[in-house]
Structure 1
């Protein structure tokens, strides 16, 4: 019986086959890309959608098949063919999503898929209940099965390639792969149809069952809608998964960066930035742990006499070298000293840098003083060896103080006692060591008591600020004042700054004290403003404050709290501190400059004295050290230096302040050199805030300078 096809039905089946192939490849990628429960959900849902799409192609092509007699399809066999399509799709997705791409696996997967697809086709053909029965040509059946195997192998191979293709090229490649796969599926169907022969006079007993144009339209619309909806859902899930993976990667990266930053911050907080050695904080932690071990060993076994020792090492004559050759040379020597000390330490010993040229060494499990003396002599020997520089060799010595626990040192005074022993060695001429003795403890006890009182001084309100005026060289009016810290001890009286500032720096108290000075200066400026006095106040910054990343933020907070213009606060830093680490100084100065704080270099001339370095700093003012001012009247060299500094500073647009002016002659010489401002006992000694206020109101010594209240005069 002659057969033919409806062209529109064939076209519809090809479109459905292509769309189903594209969706099938996308679903296979979702199964491959997900894991666990999500992968199982995509596998089950995808099998249903993919099977429906392939079955719809088969059903539409059957609807396009026409004989001279009415045709219809048995519902049970039609449903069974749909199940076969879903089963074949389940096998396909399972193999594609989990298969490792080896030839053996590819062959097995292809055969399993081919059996399922061929079963769907021939069960679907069985839905045509013909009498006499369809006559089958097994050559065409074999050809259709081979096509099914080939199409399945191509599908799996294409999916393997698609997984490796970059996302930007994947859509075009997937369309091409879908066209190839669709051709294979359609080829299987239409070759399989060639295997079916219909005798003349045959009748379709299922003609009154499923069939008709209406059913064709319904199947077409439902399958297209289902496939497109599934494709959109797959794309949305892929995008969500990609976004989640990016967020997870970002979180992991951020977490890694945070851990790295925390480790770096902890490293910075516990180590010396120049030498990389532990700082005082970390040394004290390790000392406390070592003391606990000694106590435990001595308690557990009375036969053991566990000991430890602390060595305080101070370089002899380091400051003159630093001042003469510059801080780069000094830093090189300190770094080399650290390396040499490391070489003398055992694995369980600790070497720390606790000051400019001061080092500590913790020795554990030492047999006695004799062993410590051997270590001290080795340290003196290695540090006495010349330090080789590019253009010179430099030799220094060191003094070492030794204290042993529990033999000759209380556990809470070990560092102080080692310090006292070191000073005893230094008083003996240096280049030697001294073991702590009880007679050395008097000074150490005094220092410890002073340190204890210093720790509580801020909370007890024992600090105050005194203010020394700065006088304009052109108008003879007071432009500003310098805030000077004073400590009034309840029993010792006024403790000189030279006695407690260095101690505050060595024991980590200077940061808190320095912040109090800034806040108190801002508070005082605000109070003066309400009393009719507008005044710029200068405060001194320590190197420890410069190393704090939050310095500018805390200064800005103090200015904001008291509603003070940033230009009213002048931050001074000594030249030697500024040059100690130009990177840190520049970073701090630039942060302060951004908020509008006035900046100055103090004690110029005592350190590296490099105006080329100063050009790198956003400073507006430079203060000449009092040692030069003191010799102005009797030394032509001093006058030449000061005049040169003033001229060069003016060339760099820096205002110049001379401090330590004590005589009329010094004043006149400086005014003749066009010095911008002068400060010293000749004009006024430091005074309390109330005394300064009364001075501004006219209650001042005769012929003393008046105050400039205008903003212009403060510039």
Structure 2
């Protein structure tokens, strides 16, 4: 009887399904946005929170509004705009609460209770404000038990949503997507259940009329709302997915960079160890000894002539007597074993504060600091001589050796640290001339070598004007094809009386006496002129020249190179400038402008003697070089030393990662050639390819190379 007092209501099945689809999709997007809001950076989090709240709130509201548009009471219905707008804002507020709580680290009971209650209030406000948009006369009669049931469903759905936010946080990959889809269905049905339970609580009396009949209504409007909501949610989901993919790429890149950094660090440590350590004996090498010598001398010099400045620095230069016959009689392996044993005895003889190093061959040096450095050095020399008298077992035989030792003291014998070693070497020469097996302290009369160097540098001053300098050229070839990649210009000095003087002799002289600038300019001009002459002969090639550290400190160097290229009408790419790793790293900041200007010309830069310096590999990416040249010392023991192969492999990988060509110099055997090709080196140079030759011999060599390739 009571039911006859109210209108019979029903829902459009199509719109019910559409509303549930929107609810499920909105739930799926909500779960995805919760992850984005949580992981976003602080500056972006507020934008994700705002955009996510609008997108998610609109999706939930669209489900509710479409469901109401599908409500049919048998009388025309319409929804007033004001309450409808308020219901939309309530949905956005509920979504904002949900996404804000998703940023918490933990879902505590109080957070769960407060958050689910706030969300339930927002959802119920959305629903019942939307129902209030129906301006009915007489008004709706509510079934309060059903109303309370809808409120309970809203609260439970909110609590479940929050739990799902936190539960899915720990899931990844395909499993998370499957669980997220299942959770979205559950949440969507829960939201739909709340809505339709709330709708079932509304009873319309017989004779009810709707004063807002001209408001929002109709299936076309429902279609527009569904479409707009789905597009908005889809846009939010696409943005979320793109953000997740970008973060995944960043994480992968970060992992790759971390692994690369670890590999580079390991390779750098290996290279530094090799750069400062003698491979045969494990002692410090010349570079490390010179570094320690200069630091010790500078430390003593800083104290000045004060009563407390009592420390002195003693340097001992050791050379084995009669080592060559051991190599000749027993072989190089036996000779290496003798050197290792000598190194071991030296380490046992010296104090922990002293330094001992191997310069090369059978030459060793030691350094002591003491109040009376000369006496301490002589005493140490005597202990070394005594230790050397103990027989060494070589190839099953006991062999006795002796050594000659020279001593020089800083600052007594020399106040310039780099020359102190030369003073000790001169004293060693005197010990040799005295018959060996003894120690000699430096005296001024032993400075004949210094006088000889003065004469040599005086002759070198006129070498350019007299036409005594010349360039030899050593080819570089592509490692795989064997085709010529270019040539390196190597400086030579043809002295009128001494013949060809080694660059190892006259280049340090030129640097020491300030002649390297003029000689370096001659090399630039002559190399460019020779390139032009070859071009006239139809030979197209690239030539590399070496730049000294002194040239790099000259701000006019780029202008000089540009002028030479213009004068001889050459393309900048045909010229390669090789700079040693040490020179490039020692004054990287000061010389960076010069290097950048040279690179800007189009001239290629190459890092020469790589592996002999002491720089961090991290600097490589800041250098405008496109070529890396591995020092010959790494190539020599490549086929016999697994560590050398590992280091080379790391260096090649590093260079290629930085888009640099790798040149290996000092290739002398077919086994080295094969190993370098296998390791990925791009360009090879060495006696196996060709020895340095005068410029006039280059065309014939190229023709012979072509003929050999054609014949094969």
TM-score (norm 2): 0.64
Shift of residue 312, structure 1, vs aligned partner = 0.9
Q: Distance in 1 between matches of 2:634 and 2:435?
A: 28
Residue 300 of structure 2 is aligned to residue 294 of structure 1: yes
Residue 9 (structure 1) aligns with: 15
Correspondent of 1:25 among 13, 28, 31: 31
Cα deviation, 1:613-671, whole Å, max 9, x if unaligned, reads x774669xxxxxxxxxxxxxxxxxxxxxxxxxxxxxxxxxxxxxxxxxxxxxxxxxxxx
Partner of 1:186: 192
Paired position in structure 1 for 2:423: 417
Given that 1:5 and 1:65 are in contact with CA atoms closer than 8 Å, whether structure 2 keeps it comes out as yes
2:217 is aligned with 1:211? yes
- Which of 381, 384, 398 is 1:379 aligned to? 384
Structure 1 residue 405: deviation in Å? 1.6
- In the alignment, which residue of structure 2 is the partner of 1:357? 362
CA change 1:72–1:348 in 2 (3 A) is farther
Distance 2:378 2:345 in 1: 17
Q: How far did 1:370 drift?
A: 1.9
> In structure 2, how many angstroms separate the alpha carbons of the residues matched to 1:385 and 1:128?
113
Q: Distance in 1 between matches of 2:333 and 2:359?
A: 19
1:90 CA displacement: 0.6
Contact 1:317 1:396 in 2 (8 A): yes
- Identify the residue that residue 494 of structure 1 maps to in structure 2: 498
| Deviations 1:47-85 (CA, angstroms, capped at 9, x unpaired) | 011100000001111122222333332322211111110
Q: Which residue of 2 aligns with 1:153?
A: 159
- The 5-angstrom pairing of residues 445-484 of structure 1 reads 445-446=450-451, 448-449=453-454, 462=468
Match of 2:62 in 1: 56
Are 1:228 and 2:234 an aligned pair? Answer: yes
CA distance in 1, matches of 2:695, 2:198: 107
Partner SS for 2:367: strand
The Cα shift of 1:333 comes to: 4.4
Judge which range, 192-201 or 66-75, deviates more: 192-201
Distance 1:270 1:451 in 2: 31
Residue in structure 2 matched with residue 544 of structure 1 by the alignment:
none
- CA shift for structure 1 position 530: 11
How much has 1:14 moved relative to structure 2? Answer: 0.5
Deviation, structure 1 residue 246: 4.7
Secondary structure of the structure 2 residue equivalent to 1:353: strand
1:97 match: secondary structure: coil
Does 1:66 find its partner at 2:72? yes
Query: Shift of residue 178 of structure 1?
Result: 1.5
Task: Extract unaligned runs of 5+ from structure 1.
Answer: 467-483, 532-547, 558-575, 602-613, 620-687, 693-707
- Per-residue CA deviations over 1:7-65 (Å, capped at 9, x if unaligned) read 11110100110111122222222212311222211110110111000000011111222
Mark the runs of 5 or more structure 2 residues left unpaired by the alignment. 1-5, 473-489, 538-579, 582-603, 609-632, 653-661, 675-693, 698-703
Quickly say closer, same or farther: Cα 1:196–1:264, change in 2 above 3 A. Answer: same
> What's the CA shift string for 1:529-552, capped at 9, x where partnerless?
999xxxxxxxxxxxxxxxx99xxx
State the shift of 1:89 in Å: 0.5
Gap change, CA 1:325 and 1:56, over 3 Å in 2: farther
Within 5 A, what are the aligned runs for 1:102-181? Answer: 102-181=108-187
Q: Which residue of 335, 352, 372 corresponds with 1:367?
A: 372
Aligned partner of 1:653 in structure 2 is none
Distance 1:426 1:407 in 2: 23
1:405 and 1:12 map into 2 onto residues whose CA distance is 94
119-128 or 331-340: bigger deviation? 331-340
TM-superposed CA distance for 1:263, in Å, is 6.7
User: 1:497-525, CA deviations, whole angstroms, 9 ceiling, x for partnerless residues?
Assistant: 7xx6886899999xx99xx99x9999999
CA distance in 1, matches of 2:111, 2:510: 70
**Aligned-pair Cα RMSD in Å:** 5.2
Distance in 1 (CA, whole Å) between partners of 2:531 and 2:148 is 102
Tell whether 2:446 aligns with 1:440. yes
Q: Is the 8 A contact 1:451 1:503 kept in 2?
A: no
Question: Are positions 1:308 and 2:301 aligned together?
Answer: no
Separation in 2 of the partners of 1:457 and 1:279? 35
Alignment: residue pair count: 551
Distance 1:97 1:423 in 2: 78
Judge conservation of contact 1:340–1:382 (CA < 8 Å) in 2: yes
CA distance, structure 1, for counterparts of residue 705 and residue 94 of structure 2: 94
CA contact (8 A) 1:486 1:495 kept: no
Question: Residue 304 of structure 2: SS of its match in structure 1?
Answer: helix
Q: Aligned partners of 1:689, 1:91: CA distance in 2, in Å? A: 81
Kindly state the Cα deviation for residue 380 of structure 1 after the two structures are TM-superposed. Answer: 3.6
> Could you tell me how far apart the structure 1 residues matched to 2:403 and 2:233 are?
86
